[in-house]
Amino acid sequence: MTVAVYPGSFDPITLGHVDIVRRALRTFDQVVLAIGQNTAKAGRHLFDVETRVRLARESLAGIEGASVDVIPGLLASYCEQMGARAIIKGLRSGTDLDAEAPMALLNREIGGPETLFLVASPAYTHVSSSLVKDAARFGADITKFVTPTVATALRAANGKN
Ligand code: PNS
Q: In this predicted model, what pLDDT tens digit does every residue of 72-90 receive, in sequence order?
A: 999 999 999 999 999 999 9
Strand partners, 114: 86
Check whether 21 has a pLDDT greater than 70.
yes
Check whether 160 has a pLDDT greater than 90.
no
Q: Tell me which residue has its CA closest to atom 13 in ligand 1.
A: 75
* Interval between CA 38 and ligand 1 midpoint (Å): 5
- Number of C-beta neighbours around residue 69 at 10 A: 17
* Interval between CA 135 and ligand 1 midpoint (Å): 24
Ligand 1 in reach of 7 Cβ (< 6 A):
yes
Ligand 1 in reach of 66 Cβ (< 6 A):
no
For residue 44, give the amino acid letter: R
- Banded pLDDT at 49 (limits 50, 70, 90): very high
CA 144 to chain centre: 17
Ligand 1 atom at shortest distance from the alpha carbon of 38: 11
**Which residues are identified as catalytic?**
17, 41, 92, 129
Angle between helical axes of 15-24 and 49-60 (0-180°, round to 10): 60
For residues 115 and 104, the answer to whether their CB atoms sit within 8 Å is yes
What is the gyration radius of the CA atoms in the chain, in angstroms? 15
The pLDDT score that the predictor gives to residue 17 is 98
Ligand 1 in reach of 41 Cβ (< 6 A):
yes
Q: What is the mean pLDDT of residues 16-26?
A: 98
Judged by DSSP in three states, 91 sits in strand
Ligand 1 in reach of 16 Cβ (< 6 A):
no
Sheet with strand 86-91: strands edge to edge: 66-70, 30-35, 3-8, 86-91, 114-119
